[in-house]
Amino acid sequence: MKSLATAFALAALALPIAAHGADDPVIGTWWNKDKTAHITIEPCGESVCGKISWMKEPNLEDGTPKRDINNDDESLRDRTILGLQIIGGFEKEEAGKWDDGDIYNPQDGNTYSSNLAINEDGTLAVEGCVLFLCRQQIWVPVTQ
């Protein structure tokens, strides 16, 4: 009986964390700028995380899955690109605006400081920065 009460208490504590950001407009599945992949952004503790959930070409010509071969960390180069978490560590500023996160680019193996913000038209502005040099991409919801 004591373990059941403990389980309920732990579940009750987990609910606010799981619900944090669940109704935020960044939550959902987005086309990348080239429309070659979907990135699904979900609540992740007190933050949001995003992973590559679909790719137009997930495999090499020989049929094997594309891997994270450009990663600086040799121990991570065998990870498949499909399913790879590329977004995380953000702090919520307000609904639809997340700052101080990171975005990983498997095409060059680099991780960039990142910010996410919903535009008035419902698109997602994704900013990646190195030092003071920033570039922005606009992602559209998969429904568009």
Q: How confident is the prediction along the chain (144 residues), in pLDDT tens digits per residue?
A: 444 333 333 333 333 334 445 689 999 999 999 999 999 999 999 999 999 999 999 999 999 999 999 999 999 999 999 999 999 999 999 999 999 999 999 999 999 999 999 999 999 999 999 988 999 999 999 986
- The tokens of 120 are what? 């008035």
The CATH architecture annotation of domain 2-141 reads Beta Barrel (2.40)
Place of tokens 């997340």: 98
Q: Does this model's pTM top 0.75?
A: yes
- How many other C-beta atoms lie within 10 A of the C-beta of residue 34? 8
Domain ranges of the chain: 2-141
**133 contact partners, CB below 8 Å, separation of at least 6:** none
Do the strands 85-88 and 97-105 form a parallel or antiparallel pair, or are they unpaired? Answer: antiparallel
Tokens standing for residue 6: 């403990």
